[in-house]
Amino acid sequence: MQKRREIFRELLSKDNVMILTHKSPDGDTLGTAFALCRVYALQGKKAAVVCSDRIPVSYRFLTEGKIMLEADFSPDCIVSVDVADAKLLGDSFSGYADRIDYGIDHHPSNTGYAKKTIVDSAASSAGELLFDLLKEAEIPFDRQTAVCLYTAVTSDTGCFKFANVTPHTHQVAAELLQYGFEAEPINRRLFDISSLEQLKIEADVISRIESYRNPAVTVATLPFSLLENAGEDLEFGALSSIPRRIEGTVIGISMREYEKDAVKVSLRSMDDRIDVSAIAAVFGGGGHKRASGCVFLCPLEEAKKRLLDEVFRHYDRVFGGRE
């Protein structure tokens, strides 16, 4: 505990800081990054958040409407947040992989690529971890910082529904709400609002759902053919929630072919005996025991077959084979 306080205070002493988020940004990486950026600003220091990919519409209230995030200065210090592996930085910032000075993360699969890293896998989110670090270091922050941190926490806990939520998570949220912002518009923006185009695509995904192991393994697929003429502002975070909403699902899988022969996979476990991070790791991915992901560079059907072979091995080891 003392060591992480020292690392964090050292991190906050820096100026001209570039804060890296992961590709395909979500609310945790963006909320944590902008909270940290705001803390630097309150200390009169220069910092900027960068990301390799477009910012989803749902999170643009954090970026003041900006779609792309780029730094306009040469940094003296580089910090990553919510990035378990440097390869998750994306093509635009892959060149920084061996230059990252500090990392703040809650993934147990963190590879330790930064020179100094603070990892707490017990934290629900990187946002919860940053909140704890600020409190431990007795660093004051303002309402804007609290909004960013709350966004990070609610995003990575599925609005406080996931298994990573602890009593401390609720305590963090309660303390953040004391800064006087309204949580309802944030949660509505993140979890309840979709474009009609996106809802139609999700309906198509639902029509393609397949179930295995009667029906403990549920798979939702989105082929590239459905996305070729789709708008750039579609968001796909909700896809991972579709399989696990089906009664009886133990392992929920969503597979999105984001380019021709390139498939992004999200894995969700509804049983603590199934560690989906171990499944993802077989294919070069990772994450948490109950929520992980990986990527396949092959056609969707091939990716599904390879993935299901591994999923069935894990499932059968725990529950015994059954069709």
Same domain? 161 vs 237: no
DSSP for residue 288 = -
Q: What is the pTM of this model?
A: 0.90
Same domain flag for 141 and 201: no
Domain count, the chain: 2
| Domain end position, chosen among 166, 191, 216 | 191
Measured in whole angstroms, how far is the alpha carbon of residue 87 from the centre of its chain? 14
Kindly state whether residues 51 and 162 are assigned to the same domain: yes
Residues 114 and 139 in one domain: yes
Structural contact between residues 133 and 8, judged by C-beta atoms closer than 8 angstroms: yes
The residue count for the chain: 323
Same domain for 16 and 149?
Answer: yes
The residues, ordered by sequence, that sit 6+ positions from 39 with a Cβ below 8 Å of its Cβ are 12, 134, 139, 141, 145
Phi/psi at 43 (nearest 5 deg)? -95, 5
Statement to judge: residues 43 and 130 lie in one domain: yes
- Domain range enclosing 261: 196-319
16 and 154, same domain (yes or no): yes
**CB-based contact 1:29 (threshold 8 Å):** no
- Tokens 């109950």: give the residue: 290
| 133 and 211 together in one domain | no
- Domain with residue 55: its CATH number is 3.90.1640.10
Q: Which helix (H) or strand (E) holds 60?
A: none
Residue 301 to residues 168, 218, 237, 241, 270, Cα–Cα distance (Å): 42, 15, 21, 21, 24
User: Tens place of pLDDT for every residue, the chain, 323 residues?
Assistant: 779 999 999 999 999 999 999 999 999 999 999 999 999 999 999 999 999 999 999 999 999 999 999 988 999 999 999 999 999 999 889 889 999 999 999 999 999 999 999 999 999 999 999 999 999 999 999 999 999 999 999 999 999 999 999 999 999 999 999 999 999 999 999 999 888 888 888 899 999 999 999 889 999 999 998 887 666 667 777 788 899 899 999 999 999 998 889 999 999 999 999 999 999 999 999 888 999 999 999 999 999 999 999 999 999 999 986 54
Instruction: Find the angle CA(202)-CA(51)-CA(112) to the nearest 5 degrees.
Output: 105
CA geometry: angle at 295 spanning 122 and 48, to 5°?
60
Supply the CATH number for residue 297's domain.
3.10.310.30
- Examine the domain organization and report whether 19 and 168 are in the same domain: yes
Helices (H) and strands (E) in the chain, counts: 10, 11
pLDDT, tens digit, 9 for 90 and up, residues 166-212: 999 999 999 999 999 999 999 999 999 888 888 888 899 999 999 99
pLDDT at position 215 is 87
DSSP letter at 215? T
* Element (DSSP H or E) covering residue 155: helix 143-156
> 148, 175, 191 — which closes off a domain?
191
**Statement to judge: residues 257 and 125 lie in one domain:** no
Pairing state between β 217-222 and 251-259: parallel
Q: Give residue for tokens 């990252």.
A: 100
Question: What per-residue confidence (pLDDT) applies to 19?
Answer: 98
| Residue 82: DSSP 8-state | S
Kindly give the residue spans of alpha helices, DSSP state H, lying in 238-319: 241-244, 276-282, 300-319
Residue 294 pairs in a beta bridge with 265
Q: Are residues 8 and 125 in the same domain?
A: yes
Considering the domain architecture, whether residues 186 and 271 belong to the same structural domain is answered as no
Query: Tell me: the pLDDT tens digits for 149-171?
Result: 999 999 999 999 999 999 999 99
Read off the DSSP letter of residue 221: E
Among 191, 223, 240, residue at a domain's last position: 191
